Amino acid sequence: MRRLIIGLTIFFLLLSTVYASEKVKVTDLYGREVEVPREAKRVIAIGPGALRLVVYLQALDKVVGVERAEKAWEVYTRPYRLANPQIAELPTIGVGGPDNPQPNVEEILRVKPDVIFATVRPEYAQSLQEKLNIPVLAINYGTLGNFRTKELFQSIRLMGKVLGKSERAEEVISYIENIVKDLNERTKDASKPSKVYVGGL
């Protein structure tokens, strides 16, 4: 009986190892087909807003490095960082921010991510992937100012699939849709606002 239990334990351990190492193909927001682990365990997110989406998906525990901008900028511009102070303790993998998107290749290789999520152009994502030999998925926020959220929702679903957080992804999307619906309802009878320009602040 003991041998049977030991044998079954070894079998299921091997099975779980095979499952964890299995690869699947996904398509990023620019139509790039990328092979990734079935469920990524170690990830980084580069470019404006990328880490925010990982946090929304409750997958911060899988993040192995962050850009310096995530630590340096004021927390009031990043509520997710205020709610997760441990972000400041993660290894730095580049400068980051909209003016300095270049990641540090050596630092990325040091933290050994399975997958990289990036709010970058597809050609840059491809170049980075070839340089690192690590899957890079280009994501996109869409045009949020006009509540055109198609690309944002596609990004959330893609990230949810790769992170094993598909159910959470649908919860986040539903929440955003309800917020947009509520705002539209509240302002449907509002008169057209005056147009102003504010500069030099």
Structure confidence at residue 17 (pLDDT): 45
Whether the pLDDT of residue 3 is over 70: the answer is no
Mean pLDDT of 151-179: 96
Structure confidence at residue 63 (pLDDT): 98
Tens digit of each residue's pLDDT (9 = 90 or more) over 97-141 = 766 667 889 999 999 999 999 999 999 999 999 999 999 999 998
53-67, 74-88, 92-106, 178-192, range with greatest mean pLDDT: 53-67
Whether the pLDDT of residue 36 is over 80: the answer is yes
Mean pLDDT of 79-87: 90
Tens digit of each residue's pLDDT (9 = 90 or more) over 4-22 = 455 445 544 444 444 445 8
Element (H, E) at 46: strand 43-46
Structure confidence at residue 19 (pLDDT): 44
Whether the pLDDT of residue 50 is over 90: the answer is yes
Dihedral sign for Cα 48, 49, 52, 53, please.
negative
List Cα–Cα distances, 81 to 56, 71, 120, 146, 169, in angstroms. Answer: 11, 8, 22, 26, 19
**201 burial class (0-12, 13-18, 19+ CB within 10 angstroms)?**
exposed
* Residue 119 amino acid letter: T
Q: Check: CB of residue 57 under 8 Å from CB of residue 160.
A: yes
Q: Which pair of tokens denotes residue 166?
A: 């598909």
Structure confidence at residue 52 (pLDDT): 94
Domains and CATH numbers, the chain: 22-186 (3.40.50.1980)
Structure confidence at residue 112 (pLDDT): 97
Half-sphere exposure of residue 121: CA atoms within 13 angstroms, side-chain side: 5
Which residue from 114, 133, 173 is spatially nearest to 149, judged by alpha carbons?
Answer: 173
Structure confidence at residue 14 (pLDDT): 43
